[in-house]
């Protein structure tokens, strides 16, 4: 806190993401929703996960002072670059006659970029030419936190250092702190969330604990609702809007009733 008692930063045990207080800004995507999110949250990555006693380490104060002054794109700003009309506008994936939602999955950050990638866990990948400039739901968050911000990434869906490839694996044994258990029913512990947290959803049509979709929590929107951003088929890419289902964690909408758990990485 500062001398006036204002919270400047929130660190979380096991997590590297830090919620910093900075200039207020408004996140909007008029093409897909009239709702906006106005927030003073800036989400940065600390150099290592927080733990008890870390506040006494020599890296903390210099890093915090620099991070509080930093106005380069943070996790929220980076995510917004990929929405429709953003400077890095991404598709979800190519049209597909076999995918039930009409567009193919399996679009990771290296597909969007069109580059080969060697992962530390031994998996080597080459981009699919049909998936250039495309990001599926987990590929989108791996682009934001991994490729753009430097969070370690895995090429597989196995436990270990870094973010696994698929949403279900990140939810089940990904790094960081699980914020609420997956009970197979709608999660409602919204007060535990910070902007930048990863949120996970059951895909249905059977409502259970199976995770098939993920996004990033943005905060409370102009209607007082808990809004997130994710890449999905109906909007053909990342969106905080309501095309193909409201981007809301609360309520009885498509994603609200399927919201299962959240993780702070």
Prediction pTM value = 0.96
Q: Cα 166–167–170 angle (5° rounding)?
A: 90
Burial class (CB in 10 A: 0-12, 13-18, 19+), 26: exposed
- Rg (C-alpha) for the chain, rounded Å, is 18
Cα atoms in the Cβ-side hemisphere of radius 13 Å centred on 210: 7
Q: How far apart are CA 94 and CA 236, in angstroms?
A: 9
Q: How far apart are CA 92 and CA 81, in angstroms?
A: 14
CB 124 within 8 A of CB 118: yes
For residue 228, list its beta bridge partners. Answer: 217
Q: How far apart are CA 251 and CA 35, in angstroms?
A: 15
Burial class (CB in 10 A: 0-12, 13-18, 19+), 264: buried
State residue 250's pLDDT score: 98
State residue 104's pLDDT score: 77
Consecutive sets of 10 residues in the chain, 265 residues long: mean pLDDT of each? Answer: 78 98 98 97 98 96 98 98 97 82 87 97 95 98 98 96 97 97 98 98 91 98 98 96 96 96 98
Q: How far apart are CA 210 and CA 203, in angstroms?
A: 7
Q: Write the CB contacts of 152 (distance below 8 Å, at least 6 apart in sequence).
A: 120, 146, 161, 162, 163, 175
Q: Cα 251–257–263 angle (5° rounding)?
A: 100
Taking Cα atoms as reference points, which of 208, 212, 134, 127 lies closest to residue 168? 212
CB 232 within 8 A of CB 224: no
Instruction: Find the helix or strand (DSSP H, E) in which 206 lies.
Output: none
Centroid of chain to Cα 135? 12
CB 38 within 8 A of CB 25: yes
- For domain 9-264, the CATH architecture is Alpha-Beta Complex (3.90)
Residue ranges per structural domain of the chain:
9-264
């Amino acid at each position: 806190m500062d001398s006036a008692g204002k919270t400047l930063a929130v660190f979380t045990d096991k997590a590297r993401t830090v919620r910093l207080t900075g200039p207020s800004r408004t996140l909007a995507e008029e093409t897909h929703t009239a709702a906006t999110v106005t927030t003073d949250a800036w989400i940065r990555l600390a150099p290592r996960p927080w733990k008890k006693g870390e506040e006494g380490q020599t890296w903390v104060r210099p890093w915090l002072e620099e991070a509080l002054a930093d106005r380069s794109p943070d996790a929220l700003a980076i995510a917004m670059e990929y929405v429709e009309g953003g400077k890095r506008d991404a598709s979800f994936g190519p049209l597909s006659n076999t995918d039930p939602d009409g567009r193919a999955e399996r679009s990771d950050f290296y597909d969007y970029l069109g580059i080969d990638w060697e992962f530390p866990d031994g998996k080597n990948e080459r981009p699919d030419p049909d998936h250039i400039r495309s990001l599926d739901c987990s590929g989108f968050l791996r682009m934001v936190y991994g490729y753009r911000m430097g969070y370690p990434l895995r090429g597989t869906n196995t436990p270990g250092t870094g973010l696994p490839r698929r949403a279900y694996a990140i939810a089940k044994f990904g790094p960081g702190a699980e914020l609420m258990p997956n009970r197979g029913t709608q999660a409602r512990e919204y007060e535990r969330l910070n902007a930048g947290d990863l949120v996970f959803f059951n895909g249905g049509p059977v409502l259970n604990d199976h995770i098939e979709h993920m996004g990033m929590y943005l905060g409370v929107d102009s209607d007082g609702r808990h809004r997130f951003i994710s890449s999905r088929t109906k909007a053909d890419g990342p969106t905080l809007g309501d095309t193909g289902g409201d981007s809301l964690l609360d309520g009885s909408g498509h994603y609200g009733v399927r919201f299962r758990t959240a993780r702070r990485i």
